[in-house]
Amino acid sequence: MLFTCDRNIIMFEIIIDERCTGCGKCRAVCPKGPRVFEIIDNRAVIKDARSCLNCATCQSFCPAGAIKIRW
Ligand code: SF4
Ligand code: SF4
């Protein structure tokens, strides 16, 4: 999934690719996890990118390497 968000002057993308297994690790480690992520049909889905703090923790912890935060 590709999501682009304008958060004041910061533009970024949270990309979740097809390697996602829906394990929920991203949602668990994200400081805003329940706001940002939803797990639907064994895939992580971005629910609210505006809650993202741009910390890249989800990218670091995803066991499938399926998340990319791009600034
Ligand atoms: S941690 Fe990675 S594999 Fe697991 S649900 Fe999140 S994006 Fe998908
Ligand atoms: S970059 Fe940080 S705040 Fe944003 S979704 Fe990933 S873990 Fe959550």
Which residues surround ligand 2 with Cβ inside 6 Å? 14, 30-32, 36, 52-58, 69
Class of domain 2-70: alpha beta
**Whether the predicted model's global pTM rises above the 0.85 cut:** yes
CA 3 to CA 52: how far, in whole Å? 11
Residue having the nearest C-alpha atom to atom 2 of ligand 1: 62
Q: What are the extents of the domains in the chain?
A: 2-70
Structure tokens at 46: 């971005």
pLDDT (tens digit, 9 = 90+) per residue, 39-56?
999 999 999 998 999 999
**Residue 22, ligand 1, Cβ within 6 A:** yes
pLDDT (tens digit, 9 = 90+) per residue, 18-33?
999 999 999 999 999 9
Q: Report angle CA 26, 31, 37 to the nearest 5 degrees.
A: 45
CA 13 to CA 8: how far, in whole Å? 14
